[in-house]
Chains A and B, each alone.
Chain A
Amino acid sequence: MRLLILLILTLAAQARTVLVVTADASDFLLAAGGTIASMTARGDTAILLRVTNDEKNSWDLSPDETARRNGLECAEAAKLLGIGKVVSLGYREGELGGVSPTELRDRIMFYIRLHKPDVLFLPNPHAEYVEVLDRHYAGLAAEEASHTAALRNHQPPFAQVGLETHVTRELYYYAQPFDPRRREPESTATFVPQPKVSDIGAMLDRKIRAALALKTINHAVAMRIRDRLESTGRRLPLLDTVNDASVAKLTEINVRTLAGTGAKGTGFQSAEEFHYAGPDFGVPSKFRK
């Protein structure tokens, strides 16, 4: 009995809070979904902070309808990854370039101080060739927020409403594999997150199930591929008929291929790549031991 209590206490002490910042409904899932799922599976509490409203990412729906469906589907996908709560900031998709960086940073900082995460997932703003720049802007804001959340002089009113400063001990910078140099170590070993690969073999099926929930976006991806092929006299047999089954197949291929790319050269079957800053972050290497 005493042993059991001890075990429960230990587990409870280890259960962490994970805050996931994403620009849009699909990025966090495709780049980091497996790793997030493995954390929730071991008892961590995860919260998703979605910065935009995904109003533009559909094949043929109005912005309002697109935003509505993507919101519901994102919540569904998050649930399948074990994420307990989704907060949407509601910025218009594709418009983050026109939003005050400080405003965005302060809004993310608010949630960091509110939930006091042990782990923060954020879009890597230093990853190159990310086409959707909302991810870049959200990443810059989140990275700054992780820093300013710890500083008393930032946003004094926050402290007055009980939002105390908070240091996030682990940062996972995620990005889909666009950057050809993403695995190169950064030039300095301290103060800069370094490449890290996370095995998601046990979570791959769950990640695929979650990805399938993003029906509107998956359909749009399929239709855009088909449209491009058609206009250039080509076709993809899988997409001769675009229906739930073919879109699902395409989505599964996408997730599996990404997992394979992440695992390349690591000995894992399926993996995700990050830049990682752990509790040692900020401690010069000569003092770490």
Chain B
Amino acid sequence: MAAAPLAAQKLPLGANPEGKRLLIIQSHHDDHTWEFGFGGFIARLTRSGYEAWYVRTTNDEKDSGIGWGRGDQINHKESVEATRHLGIKEVISLNWRNDHMDSVPMNEVRAHYILLIRKLRPDVLMTWNPWGHYDRNPDHRKVARAAGEAAWMAGLANVHPEHLAAGLKPHRVPYVYYSQRSDYGRGQVPNIAIELSAEDVRRKEAAFHAHQNVRRGSPKDAMDKASRETGEQHGVRYAEVFYFRDEWSHLPGLAPLLEESVVKR
């Protein structure tokens, strides 16, 4: 069963998932704003009333040539500024060592995420795709894996029951959007396109350029151009593409039943 090249296919346009709270878990200060990121979609959701939080998992010490401590400091500062353009409330930095996350224990990072998910109770999670191909960045891989697991494990009472003792309740994240570099090998094959307004793209552009430390010299319309190209492929003016996991995607045997038979109470 050979599939047609998926990149050429027009993807369905996704609606805003129902909800109020958005959690973005990424490895680095700028993972949410660049051309493979979520900038426009974040802007679209916060514009529609979503509250959003950004988790930076590493300390970005190696991103730029100005020394470790200074790199961490400036990148963090610019990340805070970028997220303001996108309407994100807060940047939570876990400060794991940049580019060394391979050796960080999976379960420890996951425990941090589970705690945050239970505290913030997001309806939507945006993170790296755990199944993205050819990503050579160990931080992306580790974060993707840990966040992918945390999204559902946070819903199990037997996982980290100590959190319940602190007054938190289990919470499974129903909607998950994955992003992935598409310039490495097979990258990820997206299954959904999200249409963006001109305002979403403007804010995404502003967020992108807020990262002056690493983006100095980028074309002024870098994000406009990228979003426009993606939009053209999918029949709208501006778009971003993702791999979307719906609330029932984890139950392939029951998803048809649930989509057919579920009714409003």
Asked if A and B touch directly (CB within 8 angstroms), the answer is: yes
Contact of B250 with A by CB under 8 A: yes
How many residues of chain B get a CB closer than 8 Å to chain A's CBs?
43
> Which residues between 189 and 248 of chain A lie within 8 Å of chain B, taking CB atoms?
195, 221, 224-225, 228-230, 232-238
Judge whether A236 and B261 touch: CB under 8 Å: yes
Judge whether A98 and B106 touch: CB under 8 Å: yes
Contact of A133 with B by CB under 8 A: yes
28 A–B contact pairs at CB < 8 A?
A30-B253, A55-B158, A56-B156, A62-B158, A63-B161, A94-B156, A95-B107, A97-B106, A133-B130, A133-B145, A176-B253, A177-B252, A178-B250, A180-B191, A184-B1, A185-B1, A225-B251, A228-B247, A230-B265, A232-B18, A235-B265, A236-B257, A237-B263, A254-B251, A257-B257, A258-B253, A261-B252, A265-B1
Closest to A130 in B: B131
Kindly list chain B residues whose C-beta atoms are within 8 Å of the C-beta of A176: 252-253
Closest to B151 in A: A131
Judge whether A97 and B145 touch: CB under 8 Å: yes
Kindly list chain A residues whose C-beta atoms are within 8 Å of the C-beta of B131: 128-129, 179
Judge whether A236 and B258 touch: CB under 8 Å: yes
> Which residues between 67 and 124 of chain A lie within 8 Å of chain B, taking CB atoms?
94-95, 97-98
Q: Contacts A133-B145, A257-B252; is A56 near B258 (CB within 8 Å)?
A: no
Kindly list chain A residues whose C-beta atoms are within 8 Å of the C-beta of B105: 98
Contacts A55-B158, A236-B258 known; 13 new A-B pairs at CB < 8 A: A97-B145, A129-B130, A129-B249, A131-B148, A131-B250, A176-B252, A177-B252, A180-B189, A234-B264, A235-B263, A256-B253, A257-B253, A261-B253
Judge whether B258 and A225 touch: CB under 8 Å: yes
In-complex Cβ contact of A233 among B148, B254, B265 (8 A): B265
Contact of A66 with B by CB under 8 A: yes
Interface 1/0 per residue, A168-181 and B, CB below 8 Å: 00000000111111
Tell me the complex Cα distance, A232–B159, Å: 23
> At the interface, is chain B mostly helix, strand, loop or mixed?
loop
The 9 closest A-B pairs by CB, nearest first: A254-B253, A97-B106, A128-B131, A56-B158, A257-B253, A258-B253, A98-B107, A183-B1, A63-B158
Kindly list chain A residues whose C-beta atoms are within 8 Å of the C-beta of B253: 30, 176, 253-258, 261
Contact of A148 with B by CB under 8 A: no
Judge whether B149 and A97 touch: CB under 8 Å: yes
Kindly list chain A residues whose C-beta atoms are within 8 Å of the C-beta of B264: 233-235
Q: How far is the CB of A55 from chain B (nearest CB, A)?
A: 6
Tell me the complex Cα distance, A225–B18, Å: 17
Query: What class of interface size applies to chain A in its complex with B?
Result: 35 or more
Judge whether A257 and B189 touch: CB under 8 Å: no
Residues of B within 8 A of A (CB): 1-3, 18, 105-107, 110, 130-131, 145, 148-149, 152-153, 155-159, 161, 172, 174, 189, 191, 243, 245, 247-254, 256-258, 261-265
Q: How far is the CB of A104 from chain B (nearest CB, A)?
A: 14
Tell me the complex Cα distance, A60–B105, Å: 28
Tell me the complex Cα distance, A30–B152, Å: 19
Judge whether B256 and A257 touch: CB under 8 Å: yes
Interface 1/0 per residue, A154-173 and B, CB below 8 Å: 00000000000000000000
Kindly list chain B residues whose C-beta atoms are within 8 Å of the C-beta of A255: 253
Closest to B178 in A: A129
Judge whether A254 and B254 touch: CB under 8 Å: yes
Contact of A58 with B by CB under 8 A: yes
Tell me the complex Cα distance, A132–B155, Å: 13
Closest to A176 in B: B252
Kindly list chain B residues whose C-beta atoms are within 8 Å of the C-beta of A232: 18, 174
Q: Contacts A97-B106, A97-B107, A128-B131; is A178 near B252 (CB within 8 Å)?
A: yes
Q: How far is the CB of A94 from chain B (nearest CB, A)?
A: 6
Judge whether B1 and A133 touch: CB under 8 Å: no
Kindly list chain B residues whose C-beta atoms are within 8 Å of the C-beta of A66: 158
Judge whether A257 and B107 touch: CB under 8 Å: no
Closest to A184 in B: B3
Contact of A140 with B by CB under 8 A: no
